[in-house]
Structure 1
Amino acid sequence: MRKEFEIHGCIEVPPEMTEEEFWNRFIRFVEENGWSFGGGISEIRDGWYILPDGSRGSHVLDGE
């Protein structure tokens, strides 16, 4: 039998931590526990999604 948890939320990190550093640490934690993760990651600064080029995208509350 397979059991899963779906996560909806944000994790606040120090401003100097990069997305790549966070992602690597998060995945390491998951794998060290024998778990797996399927999904993605989005960077948010001050309520705005950050696009891959570093520019500001839409606000997290847009579309609600």
Structure 2
Amino acid sequence: MRKEIEIQGCVEIPESLTLDEFYDKFIAFIEAINWSFGGGMNEIIDGFYINPDGTKGTHVLDESEEK
């Protein structure tokens, strides 16, 4: 039997921490307790998703567009 938990939320981090640094720390924590993580992460600054090129994307509350 396999049990999974879906996470829907945000983690507030220091401004100086990059998405990659957070990901590395998060995955290290998950792996240290022999769990696994499947999914993605999005960077949000001032309520806006940040595109891969560093530009602002849609607002987190804007349901009319995809991230």
- Partner of 2:36 in structure 1? 36
2:5 paired with 1:5: yes
Alignment size in residue pairs: 64
* Structure 1 runs (4+) greater than 2 angstroms displaced: none
Structure 2 letter corresponding to 1:42 = N
- TM-score scaled by length of structure 2: 0.92
TM-score scaled by length of structure 1: 0.96
* Deviations 1:26-52, CA, capped at 9 Å, x for gaps: 000000010000000100000000001
Describe how 1:9-20 pairs up with structure 2 within 5 A: 9-20=9-20
Q: Which runs of 5+ in 1 are unaligned?
A: none
1:62 maps to which residue?
62
Distance in 1 (alpha carbons) for counterparts of 2:38 and 2:53: 24
